[in-house]
């Protein structure tokens, strides 16, 4: 991303569960976003073109960060890049995905364990904050445009597609890419596979549109 798109990337070393359950990680993410925004001139970046993104649990944090930034109204986020994001604590517990999902790499039991560690209580419990599990949000209006990419065998397929549908219903421009036959983090395990290259090309294209939407490559 740095070499091809010319981005400056800040990787957040957020605190980890279970030693630091939510909201530690999301507050760390917000702190870095605000720091980058407030020091944009020193960092030689455009504070009006701040993009947030992540994959898996990081994708879930990204979706929560978009909600938090909207609600605190201190920072405008240009775009959210959600790569097979982990959005709903109920997946695999009270909410069951399609039977074929979650058989490879990231299973229902792994998902339950991770959510339990992050939330500090049983996944699916009432009163889970939308800043912990973005799928819990009831109002998605006013969020930045989104890209959601996921594999067709990923445990998160159902929740990701439903979240995308809800974003679009709320008037949020949203692009969806489903890679057939792909499991969770497939592109990390086999980065040079044709499907992995196709996936990267898809979200790189989405990022280019977001970044350069007001700056045509060949202005008249």
Specify the CATH number for the domain of residue 196: 3.40.50.1820
Q: How confident is the model at residue 94 (pLDDT cuts 50, 70, 90)?
A: low
| Residue 70 included in any domain | yes
What tens digit of pLDDT does each residue of 77-93 get? 999 999 999 999 999 76
| Residue 48 included in any domain | yes
Q: Mean pLDDT throughout 162-180?
A: 98
Q: How far apart are CA 35 and CA 191, in angstroms?
A: 32
| Residue 219 included in any domain | no
| Residue 50 included in any domain | yes
Tell me how many domains the chain contains.
1
Please give the residue range of the domain that contains residue 139.
2-211
| Residue 44 included in any domain | yes
| Residue 124 included in any domain | yes
| Residue 118 included in any domain | yes
Q: How far apart are CA 51 and CA 65, in angstroms?
A: 11
- Count of beta carbons in the 10 Å neighbourhood of residue 203: 20
Q: How confident is the model at residue 96 (pLDDT cuts 50, 70, 90)?
A: low
Q: What are phi and psi of 199, to 5 degrees?
A: -65, -50
Measure CA 135 to chain center.
11
75 close to 34: Cβ distance less than 8 angstroms: yes
| Residue 220 included in any domain | no
> Which pTM does this prediction carry?
0.93
116 close to 123: Cβ distance less than 8 angstroms: yes
What tens digit of pLDDT does each residue of 98-123 get? 777 878 899 999 999 999 999 999 99
Q: Would you please indicate which residues are annotated as catalytic (active-site) residues?
A: 56, 154, 184
Q: How confident is the model at residue 63 (pLDDT cuts 50, 70, 90)?
A: very high
């Amino acid at each position: 991303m740095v070499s091809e798109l010319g981005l400056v990337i800040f990787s957040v070393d957020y605190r980890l569960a279970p030693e630091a359950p939510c909201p530690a990680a999301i507050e760390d993410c917000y702190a870095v976003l605000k720091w980058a925004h407030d020091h944009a001139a020193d960092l030689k970046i455009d504070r009006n073109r701040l993009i947030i993104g992540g994959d898996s649990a990081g994708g879930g944090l990204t979706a929560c960060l978009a909600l938090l930034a909207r609600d605190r109204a201190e920072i405008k986020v240009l775009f959210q890049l959600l790569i097979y994001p982990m959005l709903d604590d109920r997946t695999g517990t009270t909410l069951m995905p399609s039977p074929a999902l979650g058989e490879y790499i990231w299973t229902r039991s792994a998902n339950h364990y991770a959510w339990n560690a992050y939330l500090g209580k049983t996944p699916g419990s009432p009163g889970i904050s939308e800043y912990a599990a973005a799928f819990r949000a009831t109002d998605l209006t006013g969020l930045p445009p989104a890209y959601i990419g996921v594999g067709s065998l990923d445990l998160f397929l159902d929740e990701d597609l439903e979240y995308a549908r809800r974003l679009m219903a709320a008037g949020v421009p949203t692009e969806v890419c489903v890679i057939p036959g792909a499991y969770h983090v497939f592109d990390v395990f086999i980065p040079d596979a044709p499907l992995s290259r196709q996936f990267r090309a898809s979200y790189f294209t989405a990022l280019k549109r977001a970044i350069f939407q007001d700056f045509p490559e060949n202005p008249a």
